[in-house]
Structures are given as structure tokens and as C-alpha cells.
Amino acid sequence: MVELGFVQSKADYSLFTKQTEFGFTALLVYVDNLILAGNDLGEINAVKTVLDDRFKIKDIGDLKFFIGMEVARSKEGILLNQRKYAMDILKDASFENCKPASTLMDYSTELNKTKGVLLSNSTEYQKLVGKLLYLTNTRPDISFAIGKLSQYLDHPTTSHLSAVHRILKYIKASPATGIVFSTTSDLCVIGFADSDWAACPDSRRSVTAYCFYIGSALVSWKSKKQVTVACSSAEAEY
């Protein structure tokens, strides 16, 4: 790809981009699967020809499914979700027929290391949290809750398992929820950041969260516990 004039991304080594006077082209690599996109059809066809000469690739057409993510197009834009993956999680956990929940956490109950009875076998809990972590690629609404429950992987209790089951019920209510990239959106970058105050009862550390939009499309988000214990009660919001 570098020989063809593409530049390898420093943020993601699997991403290659090329900007010319005729348009922009991007290529994303995952093992032996490729996504090729852009607004220069000539460049796209040229890249496909070179790749076919080198590796004998198979063009399967417009992108619809990629490593568990589904892509749906319309005149309004593109929807990226993981509906099938979410339904598979519910089925594996025997929650496909559960009663949906409107909220993903019981905010009146505080989770900590000692709350509940220690599970005799933590495998079920660990598997569920691991699967839900991958779902956060298109479900930023569950990022905070999954990050919270990930802190108890080494010693989960019945209370933590019940919290995971609550998230499954929340997903059951809207398994096709995802990220929308509108065709009418501008390219204005908007960001939000916030933090709580010593919310973790075990470490007394705060949680920082942020999200960034390009137009109306959410492109980057994170919810993470801070690495140090703050000694000030001052709160900053942007």
C-alpha cells in the first residue's frame, strides 16, 4: 500500500489512506479481510487490480457485514450496528426471551468488591463481560456500565452477575441500536468531557468520560477510571 502512495495511520496501523486531487481513498485491513472506501472510483479500481494481481482477492461487493458489525445504507445515511452479535449474546446466555429493561443499571445500588456472595465459578461472568466489551464498538451507551463491571473480573459476586443480566435485558429492548452517519451532516468537530468525584467506593478514584462528534456522528468516546486519587473536590466540566 505504501508503494501505491498510501500513508499508514499512526493511530491504527491497519488503516491506509491516500489523498489526491481527485479524491480520498481509505483501506482497512483485518487479517485477510479488506474494506476499501472513498470518493475516487478510478483509484479504488486501480487498488483492486493491484491487490488481485498480488493476492488473487475476491470482491464481494458493497460492505454489509464485517467482523460482527452490520452496515445498513439509506438516503439518510449509514447505520453501523451489531444486531446479530447482540442477539447471539442473548441466546448464549438464555436471555433471548427475557423481559426488556429501560435502563441498563440500578443507579440506586452501589457496586463494590464486597457486595453480594462470591461466585463459585466466575467463568460465566467473565465471558459475558468480555462479549459485551466488544459490543461497545457500536454501543457507547453501555460503555460506562461495562467498564464498571470489568473491575470485578477476578472476584465477581452475585450482585455483579445480576448487574450484567440487567445489561442483557437493556440490550434486549433495542438490539439494533448503533451509530448513524448522516449524509447531511457538516464536518464541525464537537467534544464533551466530564468527570465524577471519587465515585469508586473501593479505590476512591474518579471516572473521566469524553465523546467527540464530527457533525452529528459520534466517532470517539471513552469512560475510564483515573489512575490517581484526586485530593481536591473541585469539579471541571467542558
**pLDDT tens digits for 78-130?**
999 999 999 999 999 999 999 999 999 887 778 888 888 999 999 999 999 99
Q: Is residue 154 part of a domain?
A: yes
pLDDT value, residue 100? 94
Sheet holding 189-195, edge to edge: 189-195, 207-214, 217-225
Please give the helix or strand (H or E) that residue 146 lies within, else none. Answer: helix 143-149
CA 18 to chain centre: 25
Task: Give the side-chain half-sphere CA count within 13 A for 179.
Answer: 22
Residues 6+ apart with CB under 8 A from 97: none
pLDDT value, residue 186? 84
Global pTM value: 0.83
Task: Kindly state whether residues 192 and 235 are assigned to the same domain.
Answer: yes
6 vs 207: which has the higher pLDDT: 6
Q: Is residue 204 part of a domain?
A: yes
CA distances in angstroms from 17 to 4, 25, 78, listed in the order given = 10, 6, 20
Task: Kindly state whether residues 132 and 213 are assigned to the same domain.
Answer: no
User: Which of 143, 178, 213 is the last residue in one of the domains?
Assistant: 178
Task: Kindly state whether residues 174 and 191 are assigned to the same domain.
Answer: no
Task: Kindly state whether residues 165 and 83 are assigned to the same domain.
Answer: yes
User: Which of 135, 152, 178 is the last residue in one of the domains?
Assistant: 178
pLDDT value, residue 183? 87
Query: Residue 238: which pLDDT band, with cuts at 50, 70 and 90?
Result: low
Are β-strands 23-30 and 15-20 bridged in parallel, bridged antiparallel, or unpaired? antiparallel
Task: Kindly state whether residues 168 and 191 are assigned to the same domain.
Answer: no
Query: Residue 233: which pLDDT band, with cuts at 50, 70 and 90?
Result: low
Q: Is residue 67 part of a domain?
A: no
* 19, burial (CB in 10 Å: exposed 0-12, middle 13-18, buried 19+): middle
The count of domains in the chain is: 3
Q: Is residue 135 part of a domain?
A: yes
Residue-number span of the structural domain to which 36 is assigned: 7-61
Nearest to 168 by CA among 61, 110, 92, 78: 92
pLDDT value, residue 235? 58
Q: Please work out, in degrees rounded to the nearest 5, the angle formed at the alpha carbon of residue 151 by the alpha carbons of 147 and 154.
A: 140
Q: Is residue 69 part of a domain?
A: no
C-alpha cell at 171: 440490550
